[in-house]
Structures are given as C-alpha cells and as structure tokens.
Amino acid sequence: MAIADVYDALVSPRQYKKAFTADEAVNIMKDGIGIHFDPVLTDVFIDISGKFEEISKIFLENEDESAAVGKATL
C-alpha cells in the first residue's frame, strides 16, 4: 500500500507542490528501495509502473472534470 500511496502523492498536484511526472516519481521511489520500500515489491512496481501512470491519468482527468462541473453549478 505504501508504494501506491507514495506514487499517488508524487504524481498528484497539491496546494503546496506541483505534480511530479511519472518518470520523476519512479526515480524518486527507486531512491527509496531498501530504505522506505521493500526491494522485491518495488521492483515489481517498477515493472508495471506504466499501468500506474495510465490509471493515475484517468483519475486526474476525472477530478478535473468533476471540478469543472462543480464550478459551473455554483
């Protein structure tokens, strides 16, 4: 769960930071192998990180659409 949570936090924009690109997020997470993340699980994550990027884009697009609808109804 920590791997997915950290990836999401890195690639999602926040009030206090811009979103990192998927490649930047993966590189940051590589730096945490054996320190913050289990090496075996992180290797699996890296192998399928393209899927994480696809899913993240879908969620971010849906958030943008929801925000636009919310502003239009105010």
- pLDDT tens-digit series, residues 51-62: 988 988 888 787
- pLDDT tens-digit series, residues 32-44: 999 999 999 999 9
| DSSP state at residue 17 | B
Q: How many domains does the chain have?
A: 1
pLDDT at 69 over 60: no
Give the residue numbers spanning the domain of 22. 2-73
Does the model's pTM come out above 0.85? no
Residues with Cβ within 8 Å of residue 41, at least 6 apart in sequence = 3
